[in-house]
Amino acid sequence: MKKKDKALVDAQVAEFFYTSVIPFNAIKNPAFLKMCEMIGKYGPGYKPLSYHDVRGKLLKQAMQKIMTVCKSLGMSGRELVAQ
């Protein structure tokens, strides 16, 4: 795809938001921009992650990362949930 195809890409991103009922303010999340940049850098061969990856191993990795940050702040996971 070329830069001239940006309107098509934008329309596809918007359709994803609409059909997944993702709140529009999610586009302001810095993680969304980082994701778009990383997919662009990876290139056309990128294969999206699976449902099982996102709800399994990647969720577990994210939780471990959060727990590491909590421990470094002297908090337990329960304290984080309570807030």
Spatial separation of the C-alpha atoms in residues 51 and 49, rounded to whole Å? 7
For the chain, the structural domain boundaries read 1-48, 49-83
Burial 37-64 (b: 16+ CB within 10 A, else e): eeeeeeeeeeeeeeeeeeeeeeeeeeee
Entry pTM: 0.75
Task: Give residue 77's pLDDT band: very low, low, confident or very high (50, 70, 90).
Answer: low
55-74: pLDDT as tens digits: 999 999 999 998 898 889 88
CA dihedral 60, 63, 31, 46 (to 10 degrees): -10
Residues 27-59: tens digit of each pLDDT: 999 999 999 999 999 999 999 999 999 999 999
